[in-house]
A and B are shown apart, each in its own frame.
Chain A
């Protein structure tokens, strides 16, 4: 080889890279080099250290981008379930108890804004449901959610959540992708990109959408943004399998096998021309994985093996049709987690295209009815899912997140029956692996209008979730258009207080 001094810039960089690879203990064989260098990230300049933090880029094997990878540091959580409530559930009517609202019921709100998202504001309204203490912790919870209320001793509430927007799609984007704008990778895709998955015959990241359809930000909530498509959430639920999963009607199993036999031959012949080409080999592997998914996904969707007691506890029957369907989605979530799927995102609400008049938690008018209808769907199945996970010992290694995009106002809208969006205070809760139990973090002010103590941004929230998954939110980056992009942009602090 020629003298490194005389090398072109690229030659020099290649040499450096090889040194890097060997010091990192990686194989410097041609194959490994091909696959590693094939990513834009490594062709870009070396990661810039920002604020003393050097990015950690997961090493992704193109043979199998889903191979399980180690986190940045050891944590109990191996997988994560995000239960997402589109539309914004009212914190002051569920978990954030504000007696001042009862006291000032019907009065003009003092020093509160005259115009909110939908227009002029009305009078203060007491919670639409009574609050009672629950569990050993005596946590005040409203009668709207009687089933979840029984488990408050396991939950870690964050009552001081805030967001940057009072519009739903931007709010969903912000909670689920870390940016209000379009096109950023979702939390689930970041985690999958970092950690791969344990279950090699199932998608690494499953988005279980509401039976009524996608939420308002649609695919953004589980999309890959600018990460490779391999890390997007696969969209299916208990009713609808992933697109094109099944061998089509009219195609016999023999014909299907016939295709695959010839395909194998063609690819083998082609690979002979390009020995050791990782991209070709990776594509061959993806067909094998697809074949496995054709077996494993129907199996996981088949709830017939569940006991009647399980079905009953989730509320598959005996409630509204939507509750039944959501309950089946909850069971599907548990089954996926049992198999080691890394990220499961479970939606309880859709876009207003839904059907039964109530499609999500948005309650600008007649909150008494609309929240009650949503709660009937959400409460029992969700509580049963959490209890089931606990009973099976899965809380030990599963992080569970219950989240929405903002809260609702302590006062009514001018129509007198609904509450408008409140980006200044809302409540989310965590439970499961690595999370403090029976704890409440942060407080909103006496009306639940504004975060007052330990204000928590969506950045902090996401930084904490990544931390609980063993990932440093400042070091989990992807080079995109000149920046080391992060889920938390350039913000966010891990909330140490909620860690067990």
Chain B
């Protein structure tokens, strides 16, 4: 065996936490002696249940270590020196309504509680035991360091290292690989596994010809071509999105659409197509904002969430909802990257795996700056959206130059109105509204030089006054328009129609400022976060005038909505074209440039506490952001570390060699998608409750090869890993059963055959569209919609799930949490609520009905038939052959042809296509 890691490797954490507290230090009053004062109490009251044999609640109180470690609740029973933080004192004093100790008895005499309190205060001295420290360790295989095993044999011609391991375990059962699959099956299998699309008839013809010449050469070329196809990334992105239950709605009551969340989906597609190293892929998803791939943090907010607006006004409910949102992040990070269910440790120490309550909250501390919402993603300069956006901004600036010669003008940026005016230097500006009502979440001023600095911002030192300052019902104060917060927290004010004073706002700058534009909005957050509502909060349409303060202390009227939109337009009739042009460019920018996207927004991190029983109402000790203690997760971070730094440090740790899980979990996941079942069948659970690996040495070898390829290849290359698997003999063998294999290993876990299985919803739908020739193969962009626009509190309804605008790959169908698309949801399409490491495959009559009778299928069968007839010049028999090739990738045999000819004569060709689409052959991976 060769050690994979060159540096020295320590796997078990020792000395988990250091015992503190002044031992032997005497507090006020008498010194407590353990043997005299404490041991009798423990013996009488505690040790019956909390001892070596019977540790109720997983708690031992017969050792000092047991006390410090605490029980399954995850909090320490005793913290030396701190009786007020020691859970033991809390439960014997009956302060915790849910846990009173000793159980079903009167409270201990006051004197005993006092003795225990004093003992803890004095350092919980327990002679002979004080120096014992806690350890977290595990002998479970998945938590051991990665060691590359030697190959158990020689690599034979036509096979690779994978086959060597597999052959060994097949031999043990007296089994061997099946013969090579026939070329048509192999072509269909590898095409679907790699790209999610079956081969076209033209590809089939070419491949069969090449196969005749040199089968292995033909296969190599085929695999190269498929992996270079942009559809490769689409296929593998679908798997990754499944793992993290990514969807484009919130779930929960309103189930609102997540605006532009799809930029994350496209990021994943690109990552697979560009063969982004997996460690970088992981790091970017955790900390992309620091790495020039801001959109990658869509990963963190992929789970469902309950928006603040639907939680209600009770403070405890609001805290609970935030804790639930943090838990969704934990549920994403744990199973997807680490392959362990961290979520179990939310309320108590993990029952099976060495993950403590403290670990869980240390992990939540890493993500304290994340909230579910949208922001402008930090794109790299090469990002297509960024490039297109920059290009459009240059065009916009060009038009602005021309407009500037005519005076001010107004632009509609959908999220806000932007009023441009001739630049002026001043110490104060004033906005006078001409309406009796205003509702604004923010009002911003900018100068020509720095568009990132809102000069009106309170934090910039600008002073705000105005009228009516307290707003409606004295509950909607004016301060909200310069607090930098967008959303429903707005200044709302109303005056009587005949009032002397209409609403106005005045900003006094700290220093003189050059200003040339203002932005005004009523609910920019809604615009950033969501879409497809019947009634989106509109832009403020109020008419207003703007004055600036002159040196002499008088106000000069400078610009206004009427002035730029009416007067100037009349004076310069020619600028109408320019205004149209700029608005057109802005709209294009809105479609093609970087946009606020639902990839998480950043908030000020709060100090994180361990929560007893997971309840935000029972905060305990403060915890620092950290990775798992099991893998030396101490990141040297504190509650003061900025959020982005926390996530970056964590990202580096999780992809470091301290953590053997990241590589193991991913190679296993790839194996699952290539062979149908993971080497560890429970792909999201490598813990003790998960499945044991079927081929432990193979898994280790693959994980090692992933990180440090033996040939001169890229580390962490997902494409290389996938290629190695599909090039194996195991992958290329036939899927046909044989009695010996069925008898000894019915499920083919040992891979004596390639195990056939039903394909996913996406493959069925995409293959139908490919057959009809109607599949729009463009990559990425906004999802196609099948639903209505709805009211905020209403259910999404399917409006059109089959029309031409839906003729794209199903990866681009809006992924709506818990909404039935009325065709393919029935095929075990995930509801995206809970993390599902893999899709179950079930068979229901509803699937049959949908595939027989849905408008989508019927329409497509007609289109396939029409295509076939056209391509065969209307020859009925040839057209039938063509339909078989288009749908099943093979010609019909004689009898099939005969019955189909008859049916086509009696009915029509589309009816034949309907049968082909419903056949098992079409729905199963051969």
Contacts and interface: CB of A to CB of B under 8 A. Distances in A.
Interface of A: 1-2, 6-11, 13-14, 30-31, 33-34, 37-38, 40, 43-45, 48, 50, 62, 65, 113, 115-119, 165-170, 180-184, 203, 213-214, 216-220, 223-231, 234-235, 242-248, 251-252, 254-255, 258-263, 265-267, 269-271, 273-277, 279-280, 282-287, 289-290, 293-294, 351-353, 421, 479-484
Given A183-B831, A243-B822, A481-B684, A10 B750 contact: yes
8 contacts: A8-B172, A167-B310, A244-B822, A258-B907, A262-B911, A351-B793, A421-B312, A480-B834
Among B750, B833, B843, B911, chain A packs the most CB atoms within 10 A around the CB of B843
B899 A9 contact: no
Contact of B920 (A166, A262, A266, A275): A266
Given A14-B749, A40-B840, A45-B692, 9 more contacts: A10-B169, A44-B682, A44-B690, A167-B310, A169-B310, A182-B252, A223-B831, A261-B899, A284-B920
Nearest to A289: B845
Contacts of B826: 229
Contacts of B726: none
B638 interface: no
Contacts of A274: 735-737, 756
A117 B317 contact: yes
Nearest to B328: A181
Given A245-B849, A252-B907, A482 B689 contact: yes
Interface stretch (B101-109, B776-784, B812-820): B812-820
A482 B746 contact: no
Contacts of B818: 182-183, 217-220, 223
Nearest to A168: B253
Interface string B720-757: 00000000000000011101001111110110000011
Question: Chain B contact residues (Cβ within 8 angstroms of A): what range?
Answer: 35 or more
Contacts of B836: 226, 480-481
Interface stretch (B449-457, B648-656, B708-716, B851-859): B851-859
Contacts of B737: 274-277
A65 B245 contact: no
A92 B746 CA distance: 60
B226 interface: no
A286 to B, nearest CB: 5
Contact of A481 (B742, B834, B907): B834
B27 interface: no
Given A9-B692, A255-B911, A270-B921, A167 B306 contact: yes
B833 A181 contact: yes
A8 B695 contact: yes
B919 A266 contact: yes
B174 interface: yes
Given A182-B252, A183-B245, A259-B852, A62 B794 contact: no
A353 B746 contact: no
A182 B794 contact: no
Among A10, A242, A245, A255, chain B packs the most CB atoms within 10 A around the CB of A10
B846 A481 contact: no
Contacts of A223: 818, 831
Contacts of A115: 313-315
B137 to A, nearest CB: 20
Chain B interface mostly: loop
Interface string B330-358: 00000100001100100000011100000
A346 to B, nearest CB: 18
Contacts of B736: 273-274
A9 B845 contact: no
B911 A258 contact: yes
Interface in B892-907: 893, 895-896, 899-900, 903, 906-907
Given A10-B695, A11-B169, A44-B681, A287 B918 contact: yes
Contacts of B843: 62, 65, 230, 279, 282-283, 285-286
Q: 10 shortest A-B CB distances, which residue pairs?
A: A183-B833, A353-B794, A183-B834, A228-B842, A43-B681, A182-B833, A482-B341, A290-B848, A10-B694, A30-B742
Contacts of B822: 243-244
Nearest to B858: A248
B311 A167 contact: yes
Given A255-B911, A266-B896, A352-B791, A286 B847 contact: yes
Among B693, B826, B912, chain A packs the most CB atoms within 10 A around the CB of B826
Contacts of B251: 182-183
A234 B907 contact: no
Contact of B344 (A45, A218, A229, A483): A483
Contacts of A7: 172-173
A217 B317 CA distance: 18
B311 A248 contact: no
Interface in B688-706: 688-696
Nearest to B736: A273
Contacts of B831: 182-183, 219-220, 223-225
Contacts of B893: 269
Given A117-B313, A226-B834, A279 B841 contact: yes
Contact of B693 (A9, A294, A481): A9
Contacts of A289: 845, 848
B915 A259 contact: yes
B889 interface: no
B64 interface: no
B924 interface: yes
A92 B793 CA distance: 27
B217 interface: no
Among B253, B694, B836, B854, chain A packs the most CB atoms within 10 A around the CB of B253
B344 A225 contact: no
A353 B745 CA distance: 53
A16 B838 CA distance: 25
Given A9-B696, A279-B758, A216 B746 contact: no
Contact of B820 (A44, A217, A219, A271): A219
Contacts of A273: 736
A483 B253 contact: no
B835 interface: yes
B90 interface: no
Given A266-B915, A352-B794, A45 B896 contact: no
Contacts of B795: 213-214, 218, 351, 353
B598 to A, nearest CB: 17
